[in-house]
Structure 1
């Protein structure tokens, strides 16, 4: 395990989870709740999201093996998925899709269960984050490496929890323009990481 691996994993998960981008969505789905209820909802969502992500961090490669999928093939497929997410971030389609998901949850009167849907799944532990974890689990194969990967997930979700608690201030501080610029910047970074995943997968498949 190298410092580059840790940085790559941190950046990939930070971008796919996008804690800052979740702030306005958290405010939307917890509309009408008081501060204590918001804190409880945010905490529950983080715990559930963490459990889901740890499952894929620990069993990611085993799940692939169960379906007979090689890690190299998943690198290509996962990289393409992450690239699509990056594309949506750059052109602000991902935020719009997340907002639609949040609005559906509210209109369907699921306010009591918003910690599970849509906060924990799919806003926190979404397809992008899960795909990234499965990809990263191939590099973080040993017990210490897996522990480090889980630690990275825990740190990012701790940051997400803090942002949930301070959601009103964060949203007011960044404003719509700030969120837009940050989302596009993170999208460009994610697109580069996605291309690297695809390139590594293609290289491994070609050598096989």
Structure 2
């Protein structure tokens, strides 16, 4: 159980990326007053929590309805997370949860950015949603393991909120170099977990049996 707890927390921390979220949030809200920043951060985290919770509770059932086995999703999800890890390790600016140039331009237009792009795809991005479904699949209906996954989601969302609220302080402490070092270390951890997901999927599907 302790190993599963560490795996769940590490996977979701890297996939959701509270530090990356704080950096993006700071860039999008540079001219926004502090009370408005608090509102945007709270709304974004709340919406992302609803999306992640929906995938956690119904993701496996949706896969079953689509006649997709969990082992197939483990392989596909592992590849997706591996791509995210490669982006982090090599410092590529176009990760799975980052914004394209067009999305960034749209986000800077007048309007509420809590839903897009903060809640999705910055916080509850493809990597985070994939990780949630994979971890709930690993729980295999065990209520305690499922509670661990949900608790890990809550912890990562709380860290994302704190990162957004204190984005100026975080940027002042880490600077660009510190954030890059943390991102690369997180990428190595995520790559290892992603490969394990792929191994588990191949083993469960018995492709080489």
TM-score normalised over the length of structure 2: 0.92
Structure 1: which 4+ aligned runs deviate by more than 4 Å? 94-97
Gapped runs of 5+ residues in structure 2?
none
Give the superposition deviation at 1:94. Answer: 4.5
- State the match for 2:44 in structure 1: 45
CA contact (8 A) 1:29 1:105 kept: no
Query: Which stretch shifts more, 174-183 or 141-150?
Result: 141-150
How far apart are the structure 1 equivalents of 2:107 and 2:142?
Answer: 42
Q: Write the mapping of 1:32-111 to structure 2, written as runs, cut at 5 A.
A: 32-94=31-93, 98-100=98-100, 103-107=104-108, 109=109, 111=110
Q: Deviations over 1:72-110 (max 9, x none)?
A: 110000000000000111111246772545622334x1x
Q: Secondary structure at the match of 2:206?
A: helix
| Post-superposition offset of 1:145 | 2.8
1:79–1:197 Cα contact (<8 Å) kept: yes
What residue in structure 2 maps to residue 205 of structure 1? 205
**Number of residues paired by the alignment?**
205
- Is 1:187–2:187 an aligned residue pair? yes
SS of 2:13 mapped into structure 1 = helix
Does the aligned pair in 2 maintain the 1:82–1:190 contact within 8 Å?
yes
2:148, 2:72 → 1: CA distance? Answer: 24
* C-alpha RMSD of matched pairs (Å): 1.7
Contact 2:19 2:163 in 1 (8 A): yes
Q: Judging by fraction of residues, say which structure has more helix.
A: 1
| Consecutive unaligned residues in structure 1, runs of 5 or more | none
Question: Quick check: 1:121 aligned with 2:120?
Answer: yes
Q: Describe the SS at the equivalent of 1:68.
A: coil
